Amino acid sequence: MIQKAKQGDMRITLEVWRQAGPGAPGAFETHEITANEHMSFLEMLDVLNQELVESGREPFAFDHDCREGICGSCSLTIDGQPHGPRERTTACQLHMRTYRNGDRIKIEPWRANAFPIVKDLITDRSAFDKIQQAGGYVSVNTGAAPDAHAIPVAKEKADLAFEAAACIGCGACVAACPNASAMLFTSAKVSQLTLLPQGEPERERRVLAMVDAMDDAGFGNCSNHYECEAACPKGISVENIARMNREYARATLIER
Amino acid sequence: MTIADSPTQSAKLDSKVPGGPMEDRWTNYKFDLKLVNPANRRKFDVIIVGTGLAGGSAAATLAEMGYNVKAFCIHDSPRRAHSIAAQGGINAAKNYKGDGDSVHRLFYDTVKGGDYRSRESNVHRLAEVSVDIIDQCVAQGVPFAREYGGLLDNRSFGGAQVSRTFYARGQTGQQLLLGAYGAMNRQIHAGKIEMHTRQEMVDLVVVNGVARGIITRNLKTGEYERHSAHTVLMCTGGYGNAFYLSTNAKNSNVTAAWRAHKRGAYFANPCYTQIHPTCIPRSGDYQSKLTLMSESLRNDGRVWVPLTKGDTRKATEIPEAERDYYLERKYPSFGNLVPRDVASRNAKTVCDEGRGVGPTGEAVYLDFADAIKRDGRSTIEARYGNLFEMYERITGDNPYEMPMRIYPAVHYTMGGLWVDYNLESTIPGLFVLGEANFSDHGANRLGASALMQGLADGYFVIPATIASHLAGRKLEEVTKDHPAFKEAEASARKRADDLMAIKGTRSVESMHRELGNLVWNYCGMERTAEGLKEGKRKIADLRSQFWTDVRVIGDQNTINQDLEKAGRVADFMEFAEVMMHDALVRDESCGGHFRAEHQTEEGEAKRDDEHFSHVTAWEFNGPDAVPTEHREQLTFEEVKLTTRSYK
């Protein structure tokens, strides 16, 4: 189908990771497409996929859902940067006006041992769920809660807890880290619940259990590169890692 | 108890609403319900499909009580459900502000807001448990906004006259979902929830008239799995993506609900959809979804379009005298703050007249120039800075200098599977929670009430009412080699095989887009009998084209997003026809359902309480047959029926 060139159209060359399944060999495939500056990055991939389908070839598999930067599904490393070049922006909120006519863009999945590739650009991030299952909650049954105003919480602490809780669990921090560490992710939840009085009763056992689960899942250690904070689309601060380290040390003294 | 069949009340739709004073009904009902002995709960398996706010909260609570829960979601993690995207807040009748709120007022506002098409007893229960939801979430560590004194902050939302909305910045849905996710994780860790991710329910298994299991397709491997249980809970969200473009997440779909419908669950009020006026308009044919922006923007922005058709000048070059501030002109007392549906319909009208703006002509301006002149840029920035930034990120335009372009978009569906007071569908043993059911919002949902309903159903209603089924019925042992499982699995497999075998020329995506266009044009903001008849015909044609010309690529035994999508679009095609049929049969206007033939002189929705004060629930008779209509008469004992006016 010949389409009239529209304002804002651009020719883009894509190198996209193709991998049939876990453990299968993978390689970059090159495609040329016409994008438009108003498209989101994922809409550009939609256009590529639709062209592939219409010519009888298999589309690229990639995780995506809300396309509003909040569900944490999208997980593309774009030209070596998780979620691409824009600060505090998930791949789904990245727009093609960031690019110029004639650009070449390389798209690959998260790269981390703890996130094995499932297919093409999709990775298995269930290790994150396992860390949360180990202790990322307050153990309170439904119906047993006191009135919400029974325990006041200082606004400053509540705000800090919120900032840590804003993590969307996308995994960009792990993908950005040279050690593929999950410290930023784990510490965000530890921080949230440490900062709130509701988390106090399980303070020690939570941090110990979550750190153990993190280590068991095969994530690397933190060596203070701070790439995680730079890549985080929600701007989760590395201060949370410091807080978790303190909490861990404290809990080790008390509990072990 | 049996109820008599009459023109306004089908014998098949026993709502089981208890009698007695409204404020005592839920308490008395719970007392009268049978209980499942704690020691016996571990003998019952519960399947929960969908793990958003409704499913996640139900899974956690039922597991805490001792039931064996098997939960399923299509995502890679329960934390990704679309509940996460809800921005504004959650209502609760706490009256922490002392501004006169009460359970009764929240109940009253919700029934009135629903344009008198919801079930009073259900709404009252919702308002009652709203206060417990906040307690529960705070105890979980949900970081709600607080004041300096350490107490929770509230705001007034969506035109409510009291401050009853609890919020966590613009991410309330995320924080509530992560709270439920945490509660689920605790039970997964304890071995009481068996969590199945990347699994799609492709059929419901009904054994001797009772829902006893599901068939799923493992989205990673393509394998079909049989799962049996004593009861099935569907918490699978709404059907907004029938419109293709909506604010729903891309994977939100009607498939689970539709497959249950085909097995005997009636679908109620599918024509009730809510359209939000302030969304970022689409920019081209490649548009994949729409983004909502808080309607608080209308507090300071002025809505306008050029006075004349086809005016292509830049907004800032159009002189004041050649602009039409149509909301201020038509509704002098409410102006830009008319309710969602009125604002949406008027935007459509001016665009249909050819006065829409932007590259597609489907947008109107929302202009802050006067507000910036009046209050200063810094004041406007403090109020809306984050929204302006989001707008600029998506459109590339700076709203401080150029008016925003906005257009209405579908974002919530009030219709859903019919349920009784227990949240049980017309298939015994099948319960439906959250947006997937129909019961609480009538023909229009109030802002900050979706999160409330999802969590009310999951945390507080189903844990009590599930006993009506588990303790109230004799449930024989059912194993996965029962013929009903075999038959359901075979039919699901055949459906996928059929889709793969078509090998036509058109992509699934392009056909979904075409369907969305039809639904939007004929069953969107404004509906007419003639249009709906035509729309139905066109959808039927498109559906037959789909089954002869769609092209699904790839293998079945791996991740195949094209095949997943094809199955969902196929269901949307069947569903959309019923939606239009329902809109046609409901020969009145109410809430989000606006029939152009029925409006007041002011252009307001004109209800016909005498003939349509009922729920319409459809019984499936086959994809090509007209569904059978059933009615549940709505009675109003507490709330007085009135008509709105915004002049």
Q: What is the tens place of the pLDDT at every residue in B483-531? A: 999 999 999 999 999 999 999 999 999 999 999 999 999 999 999 999 9
> Looking at residue B349, what DSSP letter applies?
H
Q: Is B527 on the interface with A (CB under 8 A)?
A: no
Asked if B377 reaches chain A (Cβ–Cβ under 8 Å), the answer is: no
Q: What is the DSSP letter of A146?
A: P
Q: Is the pLDDT of residue A127 over 80?
A: yes
Q: With beta carbons under 8 A apart, name residues in chain B contacting A148.
A: 94, 134-135, 137-138, 152
Question: Which residues of chain B have a CB within 8 Å of the CB of A141?
Answer: 61, 64
- Six token digits for residue A150: 């029974």
Structure tokens at B289: 């979804």
Chain A residues whose CB is inside 8 A of the B250 CB are: 64-67
Give me the residue from A50, A137, A158 closest to B183, CB to CB: A137
Nearest by CB to B79, from A68, A93, A169: name it.
A169
Task: Identify the weakest region by mean pLDDT among A167-176, A243-252, B65-74, B284-293.
Answer: B284-293
* pLDDT over threshold 70, residue A4: no
As a whole number, mean pLDDT of residues B413-427 equals 98
User: Is some CB atom of chain A closer than 8 A to the CB atom of B503?
Assistant: no
How far away is chain B from the Cα of A249, in angstroms, using its nearest Cα? 23
B84 touches chain A (CB under 8 A): yes
pLDDT over threshold 60, residue B126: yes
Instruction: Yes or no: say if B211 and B231 are a contact pair by the CB < 8 Å rule.
Output: yes
Distance from CA of B609 to the nearest CA of A (A): 38
pLDDT grade, residue B1 (50/70/90)? very low
Fold (topology level) of A126-139+152-255: Fumarate Reductase Iron-sulfur Protein; Chain B, domain 2 (1.10.1060)
**B38 inside 8 A of chain A by CB:** no
Whether A38 and A28 have beta carbons less than 8 Å apart is answered as no
Checking if the pLDDT of A2 tops 50, the result is: no
Among candidates A137, A147, A148 on the partner chain, residue whose Cβ is nearest the Cβ of B182: A137
Neighbours of A24 (CB within 10 A): 10
Among B340, B355, B568, B595, the one annotated catalytic: B340
Nearest residue in chain A measured CA to CA from B79: A71
Query: If you measure CA to CA, which chain B residue comes closest to A9?
Result: B284
The predicted pLDDT at position A1 comes to 40
% pLDDT > 70, chain A: 98
Helix (H, G, I), strand (E, B) or coil at B415: coil
In this structure, the dihedral spanned by the alpha carbons of residues B450, B453, B455 and B461, taken in order and rounded to 10 degrees, is -170
Q: Do A71 and B80 touch (CB under 8 A)?
A: yes
List of chain A residues whose C-beta atoms are within 8 Å of the C-beta of residue B459 = 142-143
**Beta pairing partners, A9:** A36
The reply to whether residue B558 touches residue A126, judged by beta carbons under 8 angstroms, is no
Element (H, E) at B46: strand B45-49
B131 vs A137, B59, B138, B195, CA distance in Å? 21, 20, 11, 29
Flag if B186 and A139 touch (Cβ within 8 Å): yes
The closest CB to that of A152, out of B140, B149, B553, belongs to B149
Q: pLDDT of B452-488, one tens digit each?
A: 999 999 999 999 999 999 999 999 999 999 999 999 9
**Is pLDDT above 70 for A3?**
no
Band of the pLDDT at B216, cuts 50, 70, 90?
very high
Shortest distance, CA A146 to any CA of chain B (angstroms): 6
* Chain B residue with Cα closest to A123: B76
Residue B614, beta-bridge partner list:
B633
Cβ burial of B392 (10 Å; 0-12, 13-18, 19+) is middle
Q: How far apart are CA B231 and CA B427, in angstroms?
A: 11
Taking CB atoms and an 8 Å cutoff, what residues of chain A touch B183?
Answer: 137, 142
Residue A108 in contact with residue A45, Cβ under 8 Å? no
Give, for B173, the enclosing helix (H) or strand (E): helix B172-189
Instruction: Using the predicted structure, report yes or no on whether residue A5 has a pLDDT greater than 90.
Output: no
CB contact under 8 A, B80 and A73: yes
Q: Is B146 on the interface with A (CB under 8 A)?
A: yes
Q: What pLDDT sits at residue B340?
A: 80
Is residue B197 helix, strand or coil?
Answer: coil
Q: Which of A132, A144, A162 sits opposite B169 (nearest CB)?
A: A162
- List residues bridging with B215 in a β-sheet: B203, B226
For residues B193 and B61, what is the distance between their CA atoms, to the nearest angstrom?
10
For chain A, what are the domain ranges? 9-117, 126-139+152-255
Which has the closest alpha carbon to B445: B179, B123, B47, B18? B123
Q: Do A198 and B140 count as a contact with CB atoms less than 8 A apart?
A: yes
Query: Domains plus CATH for chain B?
Result: 276-411 (3.90.700.10), 494-633 (1.20.58.100)
- Give the list of residues 6+ apart from residue B288 with CB closer than 8 angstroms, or none: A40, A42, A43, A46, A67, B250
**Is B76 close to A50, i.e. CB distance below 8 A?**
no
Q: How many Å apart are CA A184 and CA A174, to the nearest integer? A: 8
Q: Which residue has the tokens 């459900």?
A: B81
Residue type, B55: G
Q: Which two tokens stand for residue B211?
A: 């829902």
List the single best residue of A118, A142, A198 to mutate versus B (max B Cβ within 10 A). A142
CB pairs under 8 A between A and B: 217
CB contact under 8 A, A138 and B561: no
Token pair in block for residue B210: 């009772």
- With contact defined as beta carbons under 8 Å apart, do A228 and A177 qualify? yes
Closest CA to B64 of B176, B174, B188: B188
A66 to B85: CB separation less than 8 angstroms, yes or no? yes
| Token pair listed for A220 | 């690397």
How wide is the angle at C-alpha B262 spanned by C-alphas B256 and B268, nearest 5°? 80
List CB contacts (< 8 A) between A132 and chain B.
Answer: 181-182, 185
Per-residue pLDDT tens digits for A240-250: 999 999 999 99
B5, pLDDT greater than 90: no
In the chain, the amino acid numbered B531 is G
Quick one: average pLDDT of B60-65?
A: 98
Residue B175 at interface with chain A, using a CB cutoff of 8 Å: yes
Q: Encode pLDDT of A151-175 as tens digits.
A: 999 999 999 999 999 999 999 999 9
Q: Are B236 and B248 in contact (CB under 8 A)?
A: no
In DSSP notation, B427-483 reads: STTEEE-GGGB-SSSTTSPPTT-HHHHHHIIIIIIHHHHHHHHHTTS------TTSH
Would you place residue B88 in the very low, low, confident or very high pLDDT band (cuts 50, 70, 90)?
Answer: confident
Q: What residues of A are in contact with residue B553 (Cβ under 8 Å)?
A: 52-53, 56-59
Of B94, B463, B507, the CB nearest to A142: B463
CATH number (3.40.50.1370, 3.40.50.11540, 1.20.120.330, 3.10.20.30) of A9-117 reads 3.10.20.30
pLDDT of residue B143: 97
The interface predicted TM-score (ipTM) is 0.97
Q: For the sheet containing B302-306, what is the strand order?
A: B273-279, B404-413, B364-367, B302-306, B323-324
Contact A59 B553 (CB under 8 A): yes
- Closest by CA to A150, choosing from A159, A140, A160, is A140
The Cα of B99 is separated from the nearest Cα of chain A by a number of Å equal to 17
Tokens found for residue B609: 């309480």
The packing angle between helices B53-65 and B462-470, to 10°, is: 60
E strands in chain A: 9-19, 26-36, 76-78, 81-82, 104-109, 117-119, 122-123
B354-379, pLDDT tens digit by residue? 999 998 899 999 999 999 999 999 98
Query: How would residue B2 be classed by pLDDT, with cut points 50, 70 and 90?
Result: low
Report the distance separating Cα B597 and Cα B526, nearest Å.
Answer: 10
Whole-model pTM: value is 0.96
* Shortest Cα distance, chain B CAs vs residue A48, angstroms: 11
Determine the Cα–Cα distance for residues B196 and B78; give it in Å rounded to an integer. Answer: 9
Chain A: closest CA distance from residue B10 (Å): 36
Of B76, B78, B249, the CB nearest to A125: B76
B169 is catalytic: no
How long a stretch of residues is chain A?
256
Decide if B36 contacts B13 (C-beta within 8 A): no
Whether pLDDT at B289 is above 70: yes
- Residue labelled with tokens 């910036």: B372
Under a CB-based contact definition with an 8 Å cutoff, are residues B364 and B350 in contact?
yes
- Rama region for A71: left / alpha / beta (φ>0; ψ in -120 to 50; rest): alpha
**pLDDT over 90 percentage in chain B:** 87
SS (H, E, C) A103-136: CEEEEEECCCCCCCEEECCEECCHHHHHHHHCCC
A224/A118 Cα distance (integer angstroms): 29
The separation between CA A144 and the C-alpha centre of its own chain, rounded to angstroms, equals 33
Q: CA B83 from chain center: how many Å? A: 10
User: Is residue B410 within 8 Å of B390, Cβ to Cβ?
Assistant: no
The closest alpha carbon to B14, from B415, B424, B417, B414, belongs to: B424
Query: Are the C-beta atoms of A244 and A191 separated by less than 8 Å?
Result: yes
The four Cα atoms B542, B548, B549, B554 give a dihedral, to 10 degrees, of 120
Tens digit of each residue's pLDDT (9 = 90 or more) over B595-631: 999 998 877 889 999 999 999 999 999 999 999 999 9
